[in-house]
A and B are shown apart, each in its own frame.
Chain A
Amino acid sequence: AIRMTQSPSSFSASTGDRVTITCRASQGISSYLAWYQQKPGKAPKLLIYAASTLQSGVPSRFSGSGSGTDFTLTISCLQSEDFATYYCQQYYSYQTFGQGTKVEIK
Chain B
Amino acid sequence: EVQLVQSGAEVKKPGESLKISCKGSGYSFTSYWIGWVRQMPGKGLEWMGIIYPGDSDTRYSPSFQGQVTISADKSISTAYLQWSSLKASDTAMYYCARAEAVGATRFGAFDIWGQGTMVTVSS
Please report A residues at the B interface, Cβ cutoff 8 Å: 1, 34, 36, 38, 43-46, 49, 55, 87, 89, 91, 94-100
Contact = CB atoms under 8 A, between A and B. Distances in A.
B47 A94 contact: yes
Contacts of A97: 37, 44-47
Contacts of A45: 113
B83 interface: no
B62 interface: yes
A16 B107 CA distance: 36
Interface residues of B, number: 23
Interface string B60-72: 0110000000000
Contacts of A95: 35, 47, 50, 107
Given A44-B45, A97-B44, A99-B44, A91 B108 contact: yes
A2 B110 CA distance: 18
Given A43-B115, A89-B109, A94-B50, 6 more contacts: A38-B45, A44-B113, A89-B110, A94-B47, A95-B35, A97-B47
Main SS at interface, chain B: strand
B119 interface: no
A48 to B, nearest CB: 9
Given A34-B110, A44-B110, A46-B111, A94 B45 contact: no
Interface of B: 35, 37, 44-47, 50, 59, 61-62, 95, 97, 99, 106-111, 113-116
B116 A55 contact: no
Nearest to B46: A97
Nearest to A38: B45
B110 A46 contact: yes
Shortest beta-carbon contacts, A-B, top 8: A34-B109, A43-B113, A49-B109, A97-B45, A100-B44, A95-B47, A99-B44, A46-B111
A96 B45 CA distance: 9
17 contacts: A1-B62, A34-B109, A36-B45, A36-B110, A43-B95, A43-B115, A43-B116, A44-B110, A44-B113, A46-B109, A46-B110, A91-B106, A91-B107, A95-B47, A95-B50, A97-B37, A98-B44
